[in-house]
Structure 1
């Protein structure tokens, strides 16, 4: 598979970084404004919960639509279009006046977010093929950086009393402008050229459905564990360890910082030990970290445990997405949509499952679920060796 390098791969890499960061920023800006939107629309917590399910369902739908569409029209067209849709959708929540207008706004926002998620990951795989080493994890780190910027800027605008509609609309306009500008730097994978005179390699067999489901299952487990940390780390500190709310925030902070740092480091390590080892040893480290949180109820040790949990989870999902995107270059988007979609279901399901388990067992005991999933990932990680990545010629960087 050759790559159109009329646009240098490095420029495409920077553009992809930008889309990941922009996506994280857009999602983060929505999250920090949820309390204001809830108050402005006059809805209850339970109604908000149902509307957030609509958002999640729309995101999953957007992923399943965007995957095959990327294979048909190309990532170079799909990614900026999804970015523009995401930007337009951000105008809605700030302008919503009641539950049904907010529900409609969140459906469009979820669909745009899911479409961009699959599109930018699929494009990241195309860019990675132009490099002689893995680069996927750094893209995911940029998503985290975008979310961190959203937290800082969102906090500043809220403190300054900037209306929610203004903040979210400005973020939406930024998404539209950046998506359109960066589209010029995206690249497409060239279709294979038939050459009867050349010794062409035998066509590779299409990936088995079993392999796709295996990758999706691993993504489900790892992202479920990530979702548990996102929603329950601070609560574990407050409710189990008895810390203050301000101290409890450090638990999620330790997890998030370790995950971001780990993602920036993963690509270099993956180039040496391979994706299967990243997934296996990362999941093992995550299991050790969360087990430490469970069995040692002491704040300093628990902080280390949450950091190990984030570091262990940091590199696994990017390896799975890369593997899915390279199973079949003609159906890269559709295959990635399945794996990304299953991972997203895990991300949404994790916090809810832990919440349900806490009706019967203490929170610390409920954390055994993600520990078990990490152990199962350690066992199943060799599936990544069943289809190896085929690097292209070194690119100009």
Structure 2
């Protein structure tokens, strides 16, 4: 593009997504150290992680209306600084209750920046003649991978957890402030459209449409959560591999998802978001079905890779669609869809774990398979259509 402003804003958005992925990833690799330092049990840690998830959901619902009221230019850098301060705190915890407080803070900060950066991504995408949302999500995955490498190095070197997380937090805060000058505001002026050009205001969407987008996000992110927590365990417990070999299952899924997100934007420009969600969800269902019936690891790895590739493009399309339903309430609408998706991400692993008390693990995978099929069936919800004005979003 000839205008340097959208390009700079795109780079800034890449930066915030990478920072968020890095901060979350560095926390994840230090969880065992934090658990030891606070002297808590696995069950207590599990309960505290639910607090983190609940706080993140609250942060998302707060950030959505703030994005509409204050604009992304104010909210996103502030959210980045908030995340930077928050990620320091788990490393300083010394008991279950101090860890609980720190995870509430960290979860709120993570939820806030999640909606803020996705809202800004929608604004930046409007300035481009092609889809670019999926590439932002790919950079989140890249940030997580970098955190795994950095975390492995600092842990091997014996760097204290508090030092690693504090350095991460300081870096997040500094980079967020440096990138702030390139953040653009998406609030439309009176009488203008989404990108500041003269246009009629968008038709206010129906509640049903918003909830359908959220339901599909819930289904696809629940499936993603299942892969995150159960891919390696399936390979070890069902296929009988060693723990080290079982790690390749999640690796196949994660690599395929990241690669798919880098490719999705170009494909979406050719076939549209409906096809991305429909055929992607169908491919994911087929891939996980292959995992369920695979008698040996190589075939299961192919299934996990297909599962990751199929899931890679759907969620960015849903977030983009939510953010463009109504430019006057873009942040609030996106917060609902992002929040429902996040609930699915948290619920998936727990749901599968509960089902394994009664049925084998590979049979329990039928739940995400069915949800992916339903997502494919209802993908038409992403087709552009005016919503009835008599059903305003409350």
Q: 5 Å matches for 1:168-317?
A: 168-189=165-186, 191-194=188-191, 202-317=200-315
Give the RMSD, CA atoms, in angstroms. 1.5
> How big is the shift at 1:201?
5.5
Q: Residue 92 of structure 2 aligns with which residue?
A: 95
Matches of 1:296 and 1:92, distance apart in 2? 43
How many residue pairs end up in the alignment? Answer: 381
Q: Note if contact 2:60-2:115 (Cα within 8 Å) is conserved in structure 1.
A: yes
Q: 5 Å matches for 1:364-375?
A: 364-375=362-373
Post-superposition Cα deviations, 1:3-57, rounded to whole Å, max 9, x if no partner, equal: xx98610000000000000000000000000000000011111111111011000
Matches of 2:3 and 2:295, distance apart in 1? 56
> How big is the shift at 1:386?
3.8
Q: Residue 117 of structure 1 aligns with which residue?
A: 114
SS at match of 2:383: helix
> How big is the shift at 1:298?
1.1
Matches of 2:90 and 2:123, distance apart in 1? 33
Matches of 2:207 and 2:171, distance apart in 1? 39
Matches of 1:312 and 1:191, distance apart in 2? 35
Q: Note if contact 2:202-2:325 (Cα within 8 Å) is conserved in structure 1.
A: no
Post-superposition Cα deviations, 1:73-114, rounded to whole Å, max 9, x if no partner, equal: 001111111110110012211111101111000000000000
Q: Residue 10 of structure 1 aligns with which residue?
A: 7
Structure 2 vs 1, CA of residues 76 and 387 (structure 1 numbering), >3 Å: closer, same or farther?
A: farther
Matches of 2:200 and 2:331, distance apart in 1? 23
> How big is the shift at 1:188?
1.0
Q: In the alignment, is residue 49 of structure 1 matched against residue 46 of structure 2?
A: yes
Post-superposition Cα deviations, 1:339-393, rounded to whole Å, max 9, x if no partner, equal: 00000000000000000000010000000000000000110001100448xxxxx
Matches of 1:134 and 1:6, distance apart in 2? 17
Matches of 1:202 and 1:232, distance apart in 2? 48
Matches of 1:306 and 1:202, distance apart in 2? 45
Q: In the alignment, is residue 351 of structure 1 matched against residue 352 of structure 2?
A: no
Q: Residue 331 of structure 2 aligns with which residue?
A: 333
Post-superposition Cα deviations, 1:202-237, rounded to whole Å, max 9, x if no partner, equal: 544200000000000000000000000000000000
TM, length-normalised to structure 2: 0.95
Post-superposition Cα deviations, 1:279-318, rounded to whole Å, max 9, x if no partner, equal: 0000000000000000122111100000000000000000
Matches of 1:223 and 1:130, distance apart in 2? 27
Q: Residue 137 of structure 1 aligns with which residue?
A: 134
SS at match of 2:378: helix
Structure 2 vs 1, CA of residues 204 and 18 (structure 1 numbering), >3 Å: closer, same or farther?
A: closer
Matches of 1:351 and 1:34, distance apart in 2? 17
Moved over 2 A (4+): 189-195, 200-205
Q: Name which of structure 1's ranges 312-321 and 201-210 shifts more when overlaid on structure 2.
A: 201-210
Matches of 2:317 and 2:283, distance apart in 1? 16
Matches of 2:222 and 2:291, distance apart in 1? 17
Q: Residue 149 of structure 1 aligns with which residue?
A: 146
Q: Note if contact 1:222-1:374 (Cα within 8 Å) is conserved in structure 2.
A: yes
> How big is the shift at 1:192?
3.4
Post-superposition Cα deviations, 1:238-287, rounded to whole Å, max 9, x if no partner, equal: 00000001100000000000000000000000000000000000000000
Q: Name which of structure 1's ranges 110-119 and 185-194 shifts more when overlaid on structure 2.
A: 185-194
TM, length-normalised to structure 1: 0.94
Structure 2 vs 1, CA of residues 365 and 300 (structure 1 numbering), >3 Å: closer, same or farther?
A: same
Q: Residue 324 of structure 1 aligns with which residue?
A: 322
Q: Note if contact 2:188-2:327 (Cα within 8 Å) is conserved in structure 1.
A: no
Matches of 1:194 and 1:327, distance apart in 2? 17
Q: Residue 80 of structure 2 aligns with which residue?
A: 83
Q: Residue 376 of structure 1 aligns with which residue?
A: 374
Unaligned runs of 5+ in 2: 193-197, 387-394
Q: Note if contact 1:7-1:186 (Cα within 8 Å) is conserved in structure 2.
A: no
Q: Note if contact 1:286-1:311 (Cα within 8 Å) is conserved in structure 2.
A: yes
> How big is the shift at 1:333?
0.2
